[in-house]
A and B are shown apart, each in its own frame.
Chain A
């Protein structure tokens, strides 16, 4: 591929988000709140990892490098947002992250589906079909728990995670070049405004009242060059098996 450095960084940010949120979702395998949800959440995780493989594939000439590239980079070379990196130990946090993330992910793919680049547009078309399942899942689950959120745990999760999720819209440093090239026409700021409207409409439709204030995540991420607290432990876990024998063929 002959993408510019600006486009590569832009795609890498999305790829790393998909990879890490997918990996975090997999921590619920075998532990989902009930069997059908276990299957559903694992399915969503598999799709996100599949999207990451597709995006990394556009960045890598040789797919054989995939594991090395995805897992063994230095932490400062990742471009993930903090929402994708953080550990959600409670189911309510994981569920709320899934909803906030997939609302944003669908908008990002929608923007890329309109790209003049045929490869990314094709990948986006497939991902959009899958995202429709993810959004349906988030709505089905959230609408049901919202109706029974007597302990306020869901509202509490939204209050804590929505400001972190705003970091999804922290653009990579050269996003203006990506827009100038015409690779994608919607800026992160444009998408962020639509995302905000959508999540607030969801909350109102579910009969919840949740307000939050800016936690400064966008500024702290510094165009996605800074990793969140706890990233190193997560990164160690991800590369643990591969590091046992980096020359092995899997």
Chain B
């Protein structure tokens, strides 16, 4: 394992008004490893993921991407200054994100969705961007759908395009926010298969999921969140086999029934 983790989360806290959603979460994600986050709805999993790429600004704590703090360096007086948005955008390129609702841009074709960020953000030439997009679409097994509009795709296909769009930024890590939760059961497999392939290729991934089989078989570490804190963490065998926390045991027994 490398000395500097791909993603390091340190004592992350987030409140919405009086509601404390995250109460001090710390963990590391090492390069090439897959971390699954499980837990009941409202346990803070999605908020945690959105704090990592700063779609939500954490109330306290810090996220380091390859050792670089997202929130900006600490000044001599010990204060942490918020980075300018331009800096944050630069760091976000290193984190591909896949959303529960896919969030494809409906006015662009599949290929248009995938080349948009490489063109506008990474300033690639159109020719290179299209070549890259075709590679990414091949990885999600949708090479033939480039010219379609998202409205013509099934949910599973849309989510795979969203994965290709995130891959096209060639990120250092991928964040998945319940990628199969809004899919019909018969469509989840095609998405999970792609995710397993990415994991096998050595992609660094954080996956918020309700798919216990995926968490158990495809991840290196599993975090169980409860009330904004990590209640249980460890390799899948341990978390699923001998959970120390009673709450985790209850959660899993309900999920695995």
The answer to whether A and B assemble together is no
A→B interface (CB under 8 Å) = none
